[in-house]
Amino acid sequence: MQVTIVVTHLLGTGHLARALTLGRAFVAAGDAVTVISGGKPVPHFDSTGLTLVQLPPLQSNGTDFSTLLTDTGEIASDAYLVARQSALVEHVAQQKPDVLITELFPFGRRILKAEFQALLETADGLPSRPLVLSSIRDILAPPSKPAKIAFAEQLVNHFYDAVLVHSDPEVVPLDTSWPVSDMLRTKLRYTGFVAPQAPDVNAPRHNEILVSAGGGAVGDTVFEAACDAATLDAARLWRFLVGGDDARRAHWANRAPANVTVEGPRPDFRNLLVGATASVSMCGYNTALDVLQTGVPAVFVPFDDGGEVEQGLRADALATLPDVSVVRQADLSGPTLADAIGKLAQQERRSPRTTGMDGAKASVDIVRGLRAEASHAN
């Protein structure tokens, strides 16, 4: 099959990471895959085996998702947005995919509804209409207005063959964060969690506290508290993995005490987690799976700026597990973080989770089944 996945990450990079993991699963099954990315480029992400197409990039203005910025921080003009839409539509019209997957939309990214709707209409008008699917994580941003529910329902009903929900319904059903109507329920296909290949559970122990909080300014509060906690707990070694540019890493290297090593993102990050004494991070989808698959004791600081609740809901669900602690941003400080890490050290380390983590492969199987059904119906 020719599979095209369309994704735009505006703040963090989790959406792109999940789309690439999904894409690699299709590649492993022998399919040709194109991922069209509309967010800022993330050079260290693995796109081996697939085609990565970069649209003129966008980012949000912090947690203000109603204002779209270019990668240079300027407000995106109408001409800039039109250029994106034209490039997206033209690519799909020429490629004529067998399967088209939109990541998050129409349950989110409504600020980009013009380009997504143009994409869906283009796909609908192709000589051979592709199978059209939405790909969503376990927890969505709960809709703040009935109009948002109605918008998603209308588009799913009209354009989409199914919705791939990358979760286990016995762990986190979609109903936890989104009202599921009878119509929508018929479209849902739970895949399990979309996680990368399991890390080496025999990776060597290095006895460090590993702090990772993405490449944007939203992680600064975590790194700041971790600096203070490392000062209080000078006997431990800490390692900060700081995304962004060299200037940002230099800032934290100058700010951190002597028992902290500061470096950029690493391809062996998950093996580092296996060997760490503890992990400190926010609680995005991919980060949560990293913690589950490695079994590392973890302190989650769920992102909640701008009224965001997704990570808080996920963190609360995971806090029922052994060796997992949650510190809210409002309570975050050097002492509270050091205390949470100290308590983890007193608990028995849990085993890495191995079940329900093959959501990418399950997605491929589901798509193949849907394609077979469609062929049989025709």
Which residues sit opposite 68 in a β-bridge?
60
Query: Residue holding tokens 């690493």?
Result: 266
Provide mean pLDDT across the span 350-357.
89
SS3 assignment, position 207: coil
Task: Name the residue with higher pLDDT: 377 or 93.
Answer: 93
- State residue 298's pLDDT score: 97
Give the CATH number, domain containing residue 327: 3.40.50.2000
Same domain, 24 and 47: yes
Q: What is the pLDDT of residues 84-137, one digit of tens each?
A: 999 999 999 999 999 999 999 999 999 999 999 999 999 999 999 999 999 999
Q: Indicate the pTM of the whole model.
A: 0.82
Domain that holds residue 131: 2-195+357-377
Same domain, 282 and 183: no
For the CA atoms of 317, 321, 325, 329, what is the dihedral angle to 10 degrees?
A: -10
Q: Within 13 Å and on the Cβ side, how many CA atoms surround 142?
A: 13
Same domain, 99 and 226: no
Provide mean pLDDT across the span 63-90.
93
Same domain, 150 and 238: no
Q: What is the 3-state secondary structure (H, E, C) of 249-293?
A: HHHHHHHCCCCEEEECCCCCHHHHHHHCCEEEECCCHHHHHHHHH
Same domain, 151 and 214: no
Same domain, 236 and 136: no
Within-domain flag for 201: no
Residue 216 pLDDT greater than 80, yes or no: no
**Average pLDDT of every residue of the chain:** 93
Task: Find all residues with CB under 8 Å of 161, minimum gap 6, and list them.
Answer: 131, 132, 133, 187, 370, 374
**The 278-281 sheet, strands edge to edge:** 260-263, 237-241, 208-212, 278-281, 298-300, 324-326
Task: Find all residues with CB under 8 Å of 175, minimum gap 6, and list them.
Answer: none
DSSP code per residue over 20-74: HHHHHHHHHTT-EEEEEE-S---TTS--TTSEEEEPSPEEEETTEEEEEEETTSP
Same domain, 252 and 276: yes
Provide mean pLDDT across the span 171-196.
93
Same domain, 20 and 169: yes
Domain count, the chain: 2
Which pLDDT band, with edges at 50, 70 and 90, does 215 fall under?
low
Provide mean pLDDT across the span 263-278.
92
Task: Name the residue with higher pLDDT: 208 or 197.
Answer: 208
Give percent of the chain above pLDDT 90.
Answer: 75
Same domain, 363 and 335: no
Residue 157 pLDDT greater than 90, yes or no: yes
Task: Name the residue with higher pLDDT: 309 or 262.
Answer: 262
